[in-house]
Structure 1
């Protein structure tokens, strides 16, 4: 297909116009980013959002890959002098890789097969006679006699017939119609079964699958991934089962075109051989791969959704934070960071077993709280977390007895990925004089202040909000998570004068090298006063500036619009708009009521024409004039802060508690309710009298603060069942 045909096909599939698809393709080919197009080129793209733009991008990539593969296949077949006009037409008409590979299968170079050896013995003409099914009278052995050849080890007619069926079996295997029929049967009637490997002893994580079976069409993504892992770890045997006799009959119906042919019994033998030896092994592998791809896609999407919700958790601004990295033997690391995230001081205390130096630890914690005016204590959720939480809660309660007005709280922070960050080049560059555990502790503290700014320094796969993230397609996972991080960072925007190089790297149009140069420029020459100053940095030309400028913020800069999402290319239009309605652009914060009332009932289409811009650009300008410097995360509920802790023994069924959603998976959500173990809010307990919930993400998201009721408690196994209130 030509590019024009590709665009038409994608437009039809995604229900967009061909013009939209072509426009997006042209922009992406020029190097434009998805966030830039979604925010600043809505007039050109017809208002496509990020999700739609990425769908177009991925479809273009797939179609171009498909076209490249078609060229490779056509060339390979042509070099064998076997390319007919009909075959070329079929290949060019292919819309998916599976059909293309089916068409290519008979011409693929492969190891010598039984069919190849039969052809070398001169049996292909006999195989063709059987395949054609045109002979309806006579003895099949008579037709096979002329192929007897002692030299080729064909001593009799029976051997000739039997050996020629190896060729027929391969033709059946290579038949697009047969393969499509068997695929349909497998998807509709196939059953995946698993059983325990007899040599495995002791408890495993796969006990639910020791005697498991389910129809292919009803398998859930997490079941597929669990079966795959169990098989990979040699704990499970997994196989596909079909009703063999019925399946063979269905394939016979495809292969046999003349019931009167004298070769029908032989064709049926060839069908059975092809099914057992070639078709079923091949299509079972294909099915398992397909199921894995589908499960991967689902798991990756789950991870991406959780990651986005985690990254967009509201920052706890203006807090002096004490980070606490819990441990037993090696002690709890403490780190103090100021309101801007700058490291102040750190030490180690030993309030947990085996040392149990509670009093000494409390003394150190109190001294640091008083010295730096700590307002929030962030405790990592790793080993000894709950013991440390109890210690910190006791400290807070004793301080409260002496000063009831003190506003000191703690919260539990996921430390997933902190050790990865602490050993990274970024961490070593930030804190060259600190050891790895203390770097990780600073990361824990900073996550409370601004989750997005800190978590972008870590490989997303290490953040711990996924499902089987180490089992899925790592290339696809990385691509999806990069998209999520890019989307979140650009949705929020960054302060050009405080953003780290890792954070700047994710800004539209900026490379790792340019981000590093921006930080170096800032450190050498002081803060940026306007967006245009980044043009002085080597590697930032007009195009890169165009892509990046709108996502950078400069609070208290020379130009008031530099602290908004309004792009510099729209400054002139914005000023014209403000002049038109008597708005003082230099005093946006003090003119909010006037701005709101002035623009409340305007005719956007007329005003856009007067100013010389499109309606989407006008809407973006209006939004930012009304909320200059707005952080979209500020409207979300703040994390749940605590001053006291509960134990499992304090819980009882029927108790209602407030909790924080930590992870959302296919079968429910894990909720931190303030005790040692997260509770499981199973999908079956999410309905609250509504219709049955199909997807937990429809009800809860990572970071949500929710009310739950305890439905069951298993202290011995450390399990808590929850229901949504």
Structure 2
């Protein structure tokens, strides 16, 4: 397939234009990033967004891999002198990897088979006679008798016939038409059946699958992943079942084209042998692999969506935060960070069992609050979290009696990945004089202030908002999560003078090495005062600058455009626009309402012609002039801050509560409502209609009002409902 044909094929798949595909391909091949293309090359791409550009990127990768595989297959078959014009055309026009491998199967080098041994004994002509089905009279065994040969260990007609049928069975197995037909049957009718391994005595998490049967096509992704894990852990036996009689009849329909041939019964024997010995095991594996791939894609999409929502949580700026990493025996680590996230002081307290030194811990908390004007306490949600929360809630109430006007509250923070960060090279470089637990605690405190800036330091797989994340295809997961982090970082933009190297490394066009060079430049020469200075940093040439500049923010610059998403290549057009509408660039913040009015009902086509840019670029300029330095996270609801705590015993069915969505999975969402156990908002309780995807209703970080619909104190389970919240 030529490149233009490939672009046309991708365009049809994605319902885009071939020109858009070829343009994106050229940009990506030149090293352009997805965020850069989506924001600054909309005129060239025809307005494609990040999701569409990534879809084009993935399709290009698939089709190029397919083309490379075709070249390898054609070369291999040609070297065997078996490449016909018809086969070459079929391979070149193939658009599916499974079909391509089916076409290659007869020519694929493989270990010596029963059919190969039969061919060595000279039985291929007999196999061809059976396969051709041209003989309509006589006894098949008379033809087989002609091949009796003691030298070849063929002592009877039966042995000759069996050998020939082994050859025919392999031809049936290698038939692309047979495999395509059978593949359709598997997709439509195959049943996955699971049962408990009798050797397993103890209770497990797989009890729902001890006696389970479901058509493969109806399996939910989480069921597939659970079954796979149960099988891997030797808890479950898994079988694929199919109605053999109908399946064999379908294969007969493909293989047998002359019903009155004397070899039809023998062909039917070969069909049954090919199916049971070769086709069924092969296509069973293929079906299981396809199910796993489908489940992986869904799980990865769920993880990516949750991660995006978590990273885009609004920052709680202007807060001095005391982070507490709860524990029992080893004590609760405490760290205070200032409004910018700078570490101020840390220690360890022992208010939880077995030491229960509550009064001593409260004295430490009070001293730190008084010393640094702490106004928020962040508590990690791990071991001993709820016990620590109870202690802090009581402590805040006591403080309020003495300091009624004091602004002091607490919140529970998802600490997933904090231990991974604390033991990482990044953390060691950042805090070389602190031990690992204290570094993790600083991470918990900083997550409140700016979740994105802190969480990018951690492997996304460790952040804990997925389902079966260690079971899915790790390469695909890493690619998807890297895309999410890249998208979020560039959507928000990065303060060039305060961002850490790990955060800078996710900026479009930058690498870890260049990010470290930027930090080193700040430390040795002071703040960067305008975007042009970026070019002076080692490793940033014209291309890197082009890719990165628009995503970097410099609040200290004399040019206010340096603190916006307007790219330097559009500064001249922006100045023209400001002159046209009498806007003073020097004090944009003081003119936001006036600027908005100036751009009401303008003729965008006419104005874009006047300043010589496309309409998408004009719209981007106008948006940033109206909201210079805007953080897109600002408009989202802030996290819930608490001053007191509830126990499960305080709850009752029918009670209204407010909570924060912690994780969204296929069957619902887990919501923190301020008690020890997260409640489950089941998918059936999300709306008064059928909900196919919980993400359509809630996202990680959402703050929602709910009603309690069920309580199980013994098992620590809380059922929640969105439907009845207003009743």
TM-score by length of 2: 0.99
Q: CA deviation at 1:485?
A: 0.3
Map 1:671-682 onto structure 2 (within 5 A).
Answer: 671-682=671-682
Structure 2 residue aligned with 1:421: 421
For residues 249 and 6 of structure 1, what CA distance do their matches in structure 2 show? Answer: 38
Structure 2 residue aligned with 1:318: 318
Structure 1 residue aligned with 2:615: 615
**1:414-458 deviation line (CA, Å, top 9, x unaligned):** 110000000000000000000000000000000000000000000
Q: Secondary structure at the match of 2:634?
A: helix
Structure 1 residue aligned with 2:239: 239
Q: Secondary structure at the match of 2:543?
A: helix
For residues 589 and 31 of structure 2, what CA distance do their matches in structure 1 show? Answer: 36
Map 1:341-360 onto structure 2 (within 5 A).
Answer: 341-360=341-360
**1:533-552 deviation line (CA, Å, top 9, x unaligned):** 11111110111000000000
Q: CA deviation at 1:74?
A: 0.2
Structure 2 residue aligned with 1:721: 719
For residues 420 and 593 of structure 1, what CA distance do their matches in structure 2 show? Answer: 46
Q: Which stretch shifts more, 317-326 or 162-171?
A: 162-171
Q: Secondary structure at the match of 1:706?
A: strand
For residues 538 and 96 of structure 2, what CA distance do their matches in structure 1 show? Answer: 44
**Does residue 1:534 correspond to 2:534, yes or no?**
yes
Q: Secondary structure at the match of 2:633?
A: helix
Map 1:166-177 onto structure 2 (within 5 A).
Answer: 166-177=166-177
For residues 41 and 558 of structure 1, what CA distance do their matches in structure 2 show? Answer: 27
Q: CA deviation at 1:323?
A: 0.3
- Unmatched 5+ residue regions in structure 1? none
**1:99-123 deviation line (CA, Å, top 9, x unaligned):** 1100000111011011111111111
Structure 2 residue aligned with 1:67: 67
Structure 1 residue aligned with 2:303: 303
Map 1:264-663 onto structure 2 (within 5 A).
Answer: 264-663=264-663
Q: Which stretch shifts more, 397-406 or 563-572?
A: 397-406
Structure 2 residue aligned with 1:702: 700
Structure 2 residue aligned with 1:111: 111
Map 1:72-151 onto structure 2 (within 5 A).
Answer: 72-151=72-151
Q: Are the equivalent residues in 1 in contact too, given 2:325–2:379 (CA < 8 A)? A: yes
Q: Secondary structure at the match of 2:638?
A: coil
Q: Secondary structure at the match of 1:433?
A: coil
Structure 2 residue aligned with 1:28: 28
For residues 664 and 235 of structure 2, what CA distance do their matches in structure 1 show? Answer: 27
Q: Which stretch shifts more, 706-715 or 90-99?
A: 706-715
Q: CA deviation at 1:556?
A: 2.9
Q: CA deviation at 1:149?
A: 1.1
Q: Secondary structure at the match of 2:231?
A: helix
Map 1:147-166 onto structure 2 (within 5 A).
Answer: 147-166=147-166
Structure 1 residue aligned with 2:210: 210
For residues 456 and 415 of structure 1, what CA distance do their matches in structure 2 show? Answer: 14
Q: Secondary structure at the match of 1:586?
A: helix
For residues 396 and 11 of structure 1, what CA distance do their matches in structure 2 show? Answer: 60
Q: CA deviation at 1:351?
A: 0.5
**1:323-376 deviation line (CA, Å, top 9, x unaligned):** 000000011000000000000000001100000001111111111111100011
For residues 153 and 393 of structure 1, what CA distance do their matches in structure 2 show? Answer: 88
Structure 2 residue aligned with 1:8: 8
For residues 701 and 444 of structure 1, what CA distance do their matches in structure 2 show? Answer: 21
For residues 362 and 539 of structure 1, what CA distance do their matches in structure 2 show? Answer: 50
Q: Are the equivalent residues in 1 in contact too, given 2:99–2:180 (CA < 8 A)? A: no
For residues 13 and 187 of structure 2, what CA distance do their matches in structure 1 show? Answer: 23
For residues 536 and 29 of structure 2, what CA distance do their matches in structure 1 show? Answer: 26
Structure 1 residue aligned with 2:39: 39
Q: CA deviation at 1:66?
A: 0.6
Q: CA deviation at 1:12?
A: 1.7
Q: CA deviation at 1:470?
A: 0.3
Q: CA deviation at 1:19?
A: 1.0
Instruction: State the 4+ residue runs in structure 1 displaced beyond 4 angstroms.
Output: none
Q: Secondary structure at the match of 1:632?
A: coil
For residues 126 and 237 of structure 2, what CA distance do their matches in structure 1 show? Answer: 41
For residues 680 and 212 of structure 1, what CA distance do their matches in structure 2 show? Answer: 25
Q: Secondary structure at the match of 1:318?
A: coil
For residues 290 and 405 of structure 1, what CA distance do their matches in structure 2 show? Answer: 61
For residues 150 and 59 of structure 2, what CA distance do their matches in structure 1 show? Answer: 57
For residues 47 and 538 of structure 1, what CA distance do their matches in structure 2 show? Answer: 33
Q: CA deviation at 1:404?
A: 2.0
**Does residue 1:712 correspond to 2:713, yes or no?**
no
Q: CA deviation at 1:166?
A: 0.5
For residues 237 and 135 of structure 1, what CA distance do their matches in structure 2 show? Answer: 47
Q: Secondary structure at the match of 1:362?
A: helix
For residues 31 and 656 of structure 2, what CA distance do their matches in structure 1 show? Answer: 52
Q: CA deviation at 1:4?
A: 1.4
Map 1:172-211 onto structure 2 (within 5 A).
Answer: 172-211=172-211
Map 1:251-270 onto structure 2 (within 5 A).
Answer: 251-270=251-270
Q: Which stretch shifts more, 372-381 or 5-14?
A: 5-14
Q: CA deviation at 1:527?
A: 0.5
Q: CA deviation at 1:254?
A: 1.2
Give the superposed CA RMSD: 0.7
Q: CA deviation at 1:620?
A: 0.1
Q: CA deviation at 1:391?
A: 0.4
Q: Secondary structure at the match of 1:635?
A: coil
- Unmatched 5+ residue regions in structure 2? none
For residues 706 and 209 of structure 2, what CA distance do their matches in structure 1 show? Answer: 30
**Does residue 1:692 correspond to 2:676, yes or no?**
no
For residues 25 and 6 of structure 1, what CA distance do their matches in structure 2 show? Answer: 11
For residues 508 and 542 of structure 1, what CA distance do their matches in structure 2 show? Answer: 13
Q: CA deviation at 1:309?
A: 0.1
Q: Secondary structure at the match of 1:676?
A: coil
Q: CA deviation at 1:645?
A: 0.7
For residues 592 and 707 of structure 2, what CA distance do their matches in structure 1 show? Answer: 43
Q: CA deviation at 1:208?
A: 0.5
For residues 592 and 185 of structure 1, what CA distance do their matches in structure 2 show? Answer: 63
For residues 718 and 113 of structure 2, what CA distance do their matches in structure 1 show? Answer: 58
For residues 499 and 585 of structure 1, what CA distance do their matches in structure 2 show? Answer: 26
For residues 151 and 665 of structure 1, what CA distance do their matches in structure 2 show? Answer: 67
For residues 530 and 83 of structure 2, what CA distance do their matches in structure 1 show? Answer: 63
Q: CA deviation at 1:468?
A: 0.3
**1:579-618 deviation line (CA, Å, top 9, x unaligned):** 1111101010111122111111211110000011110000
Structure 2 residue aligned with 1:664: 664
For residues 102 and 427 of structure 2, what CA distance do their matches in structure 1 show? Answer: 50
Q: Secondary structure at the match of 2:708?
A: strand
Q: Are the equivalent residues in 1 in contact too, given 2:327–2:384 (CA < 8 A)? A: yes
**1:368-427 deviation line (CA, Å, top 9, x unaligned):** 111100011000000000000000001111111222221111110011000000000000
